[in-house]
Structure formats: structure tokens, C-alpha cells
Structure 1
Amino acid sequence: MALALQTSDLSEDEMIVDTLIERARIAQRAFEHRADQARYDRAALAAAWALMEPSRNEELSKLAVATTGLGNVRDKITKNHRKTLGVLRDIKNSKTVGIIKDDSATGITEIARPIGVVGAVVPSTNPVATPTNNVVNALKCGNAIILSPSPKGVEACMKLLGYIHAEFDKIGVANDLVQMIPAPVSKAKAQRLMEKADLLVVTGSQNNVHRAYSSGTPAIGVGAGNVTVIVDETADLAAAADKISASKTFDNSTSCSSENALIVVDAVRDAFMAELHRAGGRLLDKPNAAKLKSALFQGDGLNRRIIAQDVDKVIAEVGLDLADAETAKFLVIEGSGIGPDYPESGEKLSLVATLYHARDFDGAKRIASELLTHQGAGHSVGIHTSIDERAVSMGAEMPTCRVIVNQAHCFATGGSFDNGMPFSLSMGCGSWGGNSIDENFNHKHLMNITRIVRPIPIDEPAVDEIFADYWQEAGK
């Protein structure tokens, strides 16, 4: 009777989500029962191939751009392929079931166990790549997962889910291991998922991240991006300009790792700006910059007719007068300040970057720290330099979890085939960004570890041994 009363008190949205959760729990328990690594790996590969098969990747990329209005198809295809392949590389030889470590010195044996049911809130900027990566990572560790897409990402997520289930049918994996909140998506349904899942992975708006952290469910959220890159007097200016242009323009700057601000040391400012112009960056004069700022920053938000749009559409929308607009790839405006009164100092999600200049590297570092403190603390910064110690000093002094050195930022931050970062579309920002992790989200965050603890020979130090140096300096 009590159960019936509780059920009758639930809203329709809550009952829909509760049903998904129960189905996921049944499927997950069966998936975990007497599992071996091959079972988890096969399911992860099936989900990955659901997207990586070329014709499906192209179809899903076109659908994503058509329904969200964000990014471009060519780069979506590349992102979907590259990010998924990178995750597969990262998980290929990772053991996620059974005994994963046995240390005779400590007497501790570690056993990998699934989390259970993962709830994943995914953004409209990456409505295909992010859910696929979340699904692959979850399955690798023996979990079920329920996706909560953005309203604009529902159609792409549904199509992706259908392809995942088709691959599951080939190998006898239960479809209920991967589900999504059905349309129409709503905050009520997402909130119920946040309350009922065993772990949340939330990428996208900071509002969603904060709701996840306050839901009562363990949550992995990510912070806001506002990437700043320094170009110092020792940099290879042509290479820096090419890398910044490639990164800034990729998928029309939908990535949280795309450059938002460039800080150039005065000694090379003119030479670098010439290289940036060659690479497609167009520094606007004051009248054009004023028109762009007025059009892009509207009230407390960004103009949706400009964010993540092709540069020719931005130029036409704003009505810019550029002599060489036909070769422009992105636009640059001078920064007049940093903080809430200067919206150009924040994340722009568009083919627009803000330029600051500094007298020297120390000045550039101060400006970058101010920008991070204003927005994007913990996420990442970049530097183009020939002096590696400068990157190390940035990592030691600035509120950031990543310093990207001499690389195209948006490709490097989330993992690359030529650096050692795990592939991910979700970057933890540590305590600076209000996050529970300070590294790239990856499959290792989706395991519980059970530890078998055995007795070992006693290792108890004497008090004198511990305090000897301290007493010598300070006295007893």
C-alpha cells in the first residue's frame, strides 16, 4: 500500500525516468554477471562502430548541424571519428574487470567493479561525439548509461541510439544498457535522472553542472572554458598563427577549448599579426569591432545567429565592411578590458577572438591570469614559445589544470595522437572551476575499486624518527 501511494505521488516525467532506470539496472546486472574483459570490450567497440562507420558518421554529422544550427558538417565528421578512435586507443589495453592490481608489498589487491547506472547530460555543441564517448567509456567498465540530450540534440541522439542498438543486436547485448530520456526532453526528466542514477557525467551549461552537484548523486561536472593563448617573442610565429587558425575555426569554434583570447608580446606583435592575417585572422578596425561587439553580446547572452556560424554568415549578419572578407577565416577584436563590463574578455563560442598585448612574458602571464580569474578558471591556457620553463611557470602559478605548449589548442586539450592526454570532450577544472576532477574525464572515472587488505610486517616509525629534523629547527 505504501509503495502504491509513493508511486501515485510521482509525476509522469518521474515515472518515465524511473522506468528507464529500472530497465537499465536489470540490464546492467546481467551484463556484469560473470563478465570478462572481452564482454565489456566487445560492447564498447559495438557502440563506437555505430558512429565510426563512415556513412553513419556523415549522416549523424549532417543531422547534428541541421537540428542544432551549430558547427559545420566537415569538422563534425572529423571530430566524431577522431575523438572516438582516440578513446578506443586509450581503453584498448586497460583492464576494467576483475583483479587489476595485486601488490605483495602492501598486501593490497584491487578489483574493478562497475558504478551501475550512469546518467549523462550532453550538450548541443557535440550532440553525437560526446554521448558516444560517454557510452563507450561506460560500457568499457561494465555500466549501463542513460543519456539526457539537449532539446536541439534529441533527434541526433535518437538516431545514434538506434545505430548502437543495431550493433548490439549483432552481438547479443541488451539494448537497455544504453537508453535516452525520450522526447520531449525537459528539466524535470533531467532532474529525475540526476536524482536516481548512480553517477552523473555532465557536460555543457554550468547550470546543468550546478544542478548535478546539488542533486544528491555523485557527479562529475566540467567547468566553463575561456581559453587564452600567449604568443611570446621566441615563438615560431608562422607555426603559431597556423595552429591558432586551425584550432579557432574547427567546427566553427563550438569547442570549449577553442581560443577566445590571444595575448601577444609587443616585440613580435606586428610580425605575428601579419602571420595571423595570412592564416585567415582578420583584425577589425574600431568601427567594425564596435558593430561586431554590439551584435554578438546581447544582454546576458550571446547572439545565437552568430555563435558557431560560418564566418561569411557572421560578416553578413553583422554587416561588416572588410576589404578581404573572401579570405577571412575568423575575426579578431582588440580587448579594451577584462571582467563583466568587457564581454569580449569571456567565452564567445564563435569565430571571434579577442586580442591583448603585453610588454613582456610576465605581463602576458598577468593578463592571462586575470582572464582566467574572470572566466574559465581551471580549464586551460596555451603558449607558443621556445622556452619550456615559461610553460612550467604558468603551470606553477596560474589557476589552470592544463598548459598547452606549441599546439593547436582545441585539438590538444581533449587528447591528441601526438600528446599524452586522454581523449575526452569533458575537461575537469579542479577546485578552480568548482569541479570534482582536475583531469580529462575518461573511463577510469567510471569504476569502483574494491580493495582486499591483508596484514603485512609492522611499519611503525618511532616518534623521534619523525620529529628529529623539526625539533632540531624549532625545538620541542
Structure 2
Amino acid sequence: MNVRATVAETAKAPADEAVGQRVAALVARAREAQRAFEFAGQVALDTAAAAAAWAIMEPSRNRQLAELSVRDTGLGNVDDKFRKNWRKTLGLLRDLKGQKTCGVIASDPAKGIIEIARAVGVVAAVTPSTNPAATPANKIINALKCGNAVIVAPSPKGHSSCELLISFIHAEFAKAGLDPALVQCLPAPISKAATGALMQQADLVVATGSQSNVRMAYASGTPAFGVGAGNVASIVERSADLHDAAQKIALSKAFDNATSCSSENSVVIEDAVYDEMLSQLRSCGGALLDPAQKVQLQAVMWSGGKLSEHCTAKSAAQIAQAAGLEEVAGQGPRFLMVEETGFGADYPFSGEKLSPVLTVYRARDFADAADVIRRIYAYMGAGHSVGLHTARTDFAVELGERLPVARVIVNQAHCLATGGNFDNGLPFSLSMGCGTWGRNNFSGNLDFHHYLNVTRVAYPIAEEMPEVDALLGDYFGRVGR
């Protein structure tokens, strides 16, 4: 008998029970507030969503959140966090404006159907350290718009930013006469036990971040939306405007030190334009490493097969310095580039890097480029999205029909476009579903529709039963009865 193990298990059980009780108290407060809020009417729901939005968008508070996020997580940079907090929230407000999320939302007299929007209840919002203010704000605003209460389970490093954000939200709530219990945060220290207890006790889980958290959400027994792993790749097809493509890829790769799951990790360039495209990427601040430098970089970026936190979301110059590449670091690169031919665990540059490091593949032609993407995603990133730079926009539909991706982003800066932008029609979101390819139960951008139940009232209509031949006549004509 392992006495020490038994003692440890005995000590752990009361601790977990105490955590569960503390979480239960938060959920009880949230549930009481939500029951009243759900039926307060559309104006009240819109007011709450607007209050949460302004809490992060107001410039002085936004700056505080951006600075605290970078200070406490060590990820990204302040100016890009500031822009992300503003743009993603502004875009979400645009998407939500005029949307009816309570009462009757649709009526079809011909079918005798009336649809009624209903809240889901208490939402558990699991959020990552990469966006410790923008992602919680996005989920909070969507939840409130639909009449829900929300409790955030931030990453341990992101707790301070989330706590500050919620204090700003409560200040706005006080002005609007709203119950602060509608928006809460798990208290520090954040633990898996507390996050798990919240998942089990909530009515809906929306999980963004590590795959372990997503798997825990799906296994919690509570209805859940979780996202897949990122590892975005983009194709540069021979007809592309190479200067434009390079500028957009560089912007996407360098934004917030590549904290976004939508930032390109690889670019696949057709052979006919390979050298010219590399030249364009260099002119946009990319530093191409030679094979020996690539080995040095790999040694510092991965330890025991895992990404090193010393490189994650750091600047290209910091990463080069850490790898002993002083000459490269001295050039002040915007991002680093390495050439690759392989795929899988033995070729770690083929995976997600969460840093301004771009892997470059050469392809014979467009068909070969698509095959390279397929092999990358067989290792990591299936279901997320693919970028395409081309003048042949019909190629995008071909990729959408054949690759395991939920989004094809055409001639855009990928990390800005995938989660919605002001120059495309995708919903603004920081949580992208990856479909069954990415082990997710949805393939769109997580938006307010995912925070609603819909009740349908069915009235009787005149019976209209079709003849069998009207439905199967074409089949009978092709194969017989």
C-alpha cells in the first residue's frame, strides 16, 4: 500500500470539495442575477453589452489593460494589444447592432413557425493568456447581449488583466444600474480544479486557448463550444501581387508578436515566384536564416518537443538574441524565416510557433502547394483556415472544396481577417471553430448565435403531402424502381 499516495489523495479531496463550494457560490450569485436579467427586455440586454464594450474600449482603460496584459503575461506588445482590444470590440458592436436576442425573433406564417430567443443561463468563459482582455470582453459582450450571466476562467497569467477588465465593467454597470453578479471572474489562484468545477456547474462552456482546456470543456458534461489548434499556412500563387502579398503576410506574422492563432506559421510559395517572393518578404522586414542558423533557432525554440516560453510571443530580435544570432538580432528584424521541406514532429518548424517565425516551403505549382498545406495540416492545424494570395480567385473555391479548413482567406492579412474585419463579411470573433477536422462541434466564428437557445412555436397549417414520384421520379428515371 502506498501510504504517501493515500495521504495525498485524502488531502486533495477536501481541497477539491472546498474549491467546488467556492465556485458554486459564484454560480449561485450569477444564476440569481441572470434570472432577473433574462426577462429585462432588449434595451437592458443592449445596455449591458454596450457597458462591457465601453469598459475595454475607453482609451485610458484600454491602455491600462494592454500594458498590464504584456507586463503580466510577457506575451505580445502593448500597441498591438491596444489596437486589438479596440478593433475587435468595435467590430463586435457593429455585428450586434440591431440584432434581436430576446422575445420573438422570427415568424414564418406559411410554415406556421414562430421563433423565440431564449438565454442559455450561466456561461463559463475559458480564456487564454495570449489575449487576456480582448477574448474575455468578446465573450462577455456576446453573453450579455443574449441575456446570460458569465463567469470567466482566465489563464493564470491572464488573471490580473481579466480582473481589471471586470472592475471596469462593474464601474459601467454601476452607472447603468446593472447587477455586477452578471459578470464575474474565478478568484486567484486559478487552478484546473476551479476551472473544471465551473465547467461542470455552468449551463454552457465557451473555451478558447490550450487544447487541454478545450478537451476538458468537451469532457465536462456541460454543453460546450471549443476551438481547434492553430497552425495557419498561406499559399502565394504565381499570379499574386507579390509586393501586396508580402506586406500582408508580414503584417499578419508580426502583429502582437504572433500571439494570434490566425497568424501565419508557414507560407507555401510557387516555384515560379519563389525567389522574388522571398525578396519581397525580406523588404518587409523578414530575415532569412541559413541552415546553421536554423539549427540554432530550433534548439532554443523547442525543448523536449515543447515550445519554449522564452520565445513564445517575443519579438524577432529577442528570439534571435536568445538563439545566439547576434548579427541577425542587430538588424532589427520584423520576423524570422526558415526554409523547410519536411512535416511532422521531426520537423518542428512545420507546426505552430506562436512567435514571429515564418516557415517557408517551395511548391512546384498550385496543386503541389495545396498538397503541402494538406501535409502540414495532417500534422497540426486541421480545420482552422488557409490563406491564399492570387489573382485567380477561383482557386479559393477549389481549396475550400478540398482542404480540411473552415475558412479560406483571400488576399488579406490573415490574422486580422480570420476573426472578422471591416473589409470582409466574417463575424468579429476571437474564437474560431475548426469543425470535425479540428475535433470541434462547429466550424464558424463563435458569435452571439452560439449564446442563445431558440424556442419554436408550431401552429397547424393546411396539410400538403407530396406524391412519391415528385420526390423520387428523377431517381427512378436513372436507376429504375
Shorter-chain TM-score category? over 0.9
- In 1, distance between residues paired with 2:412 and 2:474? 45
- In 1, distance between residues paired with 2:349 and 2:254? 18
For residue 323 of structure 1, report the CA deviation from its aligned partner: 5.8
- In 1, distance between residues paired with 2:141 and 2:307? 33
Structure 2, gaps ≥5 residues long: 1-13
Name the SS of the counterpart of 1:151 in structure 2.
Answer: coil
- In 1, distance between residues paired with 2:328 and 2:268? 25
User: Is structure 2 residue 235 aligned with structure 1 residue 227?
Assistant: no
Partner of 1:277: 282
Partner of 1:453: 458
Q: Which of these residues, 16, 29, 32, is aligned with residue 35 of structure 2?
A: 29
User: Is structure 2 residue 138 aligned with structure 1 residue 121?
Assistant: no
- In 2, distance between residues paired with 1:265 and 1:422? 31
For residue 173 of structure 1, report the CA deviation from its aligned partner: 0.2
- In 2, distance between residues paired with 1:291 and 1:471? 67
Matches within 5 A, 1:260-409: 260-322=265-327, 325-409=330-414
One-letter amino acid of the structure 1 residue matched with residue 119 of structure 2: P
- In 1, distance between residues paired with 2:234 and 2:215? 28
Q: 1:330/1:36 Cα in 2 relative to 1: closer, same or farther (>3 Å)?
A: same
For residue 138 of structure 1, report the CA deviation from its aligned partner: 0.3
Partner of 1:4: none
Partner of 1:241: 246
Could you tell me the TM-score, scaled by structure 1's length? 0.97
Conservation of the 8 A alpha-carbon contact between 2:320 and 2:329: no
Q: Deviations over 1:13-42 (max 9, x none)?
A: 000000011100000011123x22111000
Q: Which of these residues, 178, 191, 195, is aligned with residue 186 of structure 1?
A: 191
Q: 1:323/1:340 Cα in 2 relative to 1: closer, same or farther (>3 Å)?
A: closer
User: Is structure 2 residue 201 aligned with structure 1 residue 196?
Assistant: yes
Matches within 5 A, 1:411-450: 411-450=416-455
For residue 300 of structure 1, report the CA deviation from its aligned partner: 2.6
- In 2, distance between residues paired with 1:211 and 1:283? 39
Name the SS of the counterpart of 2:23 in structure 1.
Answer: helix
User: Is structure 2 residue 25 aligned with structure 1 residue 19?
Assistant: yes
Name the SS of the counterpart of 1:188 in structure 2.
Answer: helix
Q: 1:385/1:10 Cα in 2 relative to 1: closer, same or farther (>3 Å)?
A: closer
Partner of 2:479: 474
Partner of 1:111: 116
For residue 328 of structure 1, report the CA deviation from its aligned partner: 1.3
Q: 1:111/1:209 Cα in 2 relative to 1: closer, same or farther (>3 Å)?
A: same
Give the ranges of 4+ consecutive aligned residues of structure 1 lying more than 3 Å apart after TM superposition: 321-325
Conservation of the 8 A alpha-carbon contact between 2:75 and 2:259: yes
Identity across aligned pairs (percent)? Answer: 53
Structure 1, gaps ≥5 residues long: 1-7
Partner of 1:142: 147
For residue 294 of structure 1, report the CA deviation from its aligned partner: 1.2
For residue 468 of structure 1, report the CA deviation from its aligned partner: 1.6
For residue 91 of structure 1, report the CA deviation from its aligned partner: 0.3
One-letter amino acid of the structure 2 residue matched with residue 18 of structure 1: A
For residue 10 of structure 1, report the CA deviation from its aligned partner: 7.0
Q: Which of these residues, 50, 63, 81, is aligned with residue 76 of structure 1?
A: 81
Name the SS of the counterpart of 1:282 in structure 2.
Answer: strand
Partner of 1:3: none
For residue 217 of structure 1, report the CA deviation from its aligned partner: 0.3
Q: Deviations over 1:367-414 (max 9, x none)?
A: 011111211111000010000111110000000000000000000000
Conservation of the 8 A alpha-carbon contact between 2:320 and 2:328: no
Conservation of the 8 A alpha-carbon contact between 1:373 and 1:399: no
Q: Deviations over 1:447-467 (max 9, x none)?
A: 110001011111211122222
Name the SS of the counterpart of 2:300 in structure 1.
Answer: helix
For residue 98 of structure 1, report the CA deviation from its aligned partner: 0.6
Q: 1:324/1:313 Cα in 2 relative to 1: closer, same or farther (>3 Å)?
A: closer
One-letter amino acid of the structure 2 residue matched with residue 336 of structure 1: T
User: Is structure 2 residue 97 aligned with structure 1 residue 92?
Assistant: yes
Q: 1:324/1:310 Cα in 2 relative to 1: closer, same or farther (>3 Å)?
A: closer
Conservation of the 8 A alpha-carbon contact between 2:249 and 2:414: yes
Conservation of the 8 A alpha-carbon contact between 2:16 and 2:193: no
Residue-pair matches, total: 469
Superposition RMSD on alpha carbons, in Å? 1.3
Q: Deviations over 1:67-105 (max 9, x none)?
A: 000000010000000001010000011110111001111
For residue 438 of structure 1, report the CA deviation from its aligned partner: 0.5
One-letter amino acid of the structure 1 residue matched with residue 123 of structure 2: V
- In 1, distance between residues paired with 2:379 and 2:328? 34
Partner of 1:154: 159
Conservation of the 8 A alpha-carbon contact between 2:287 and 2:328: no
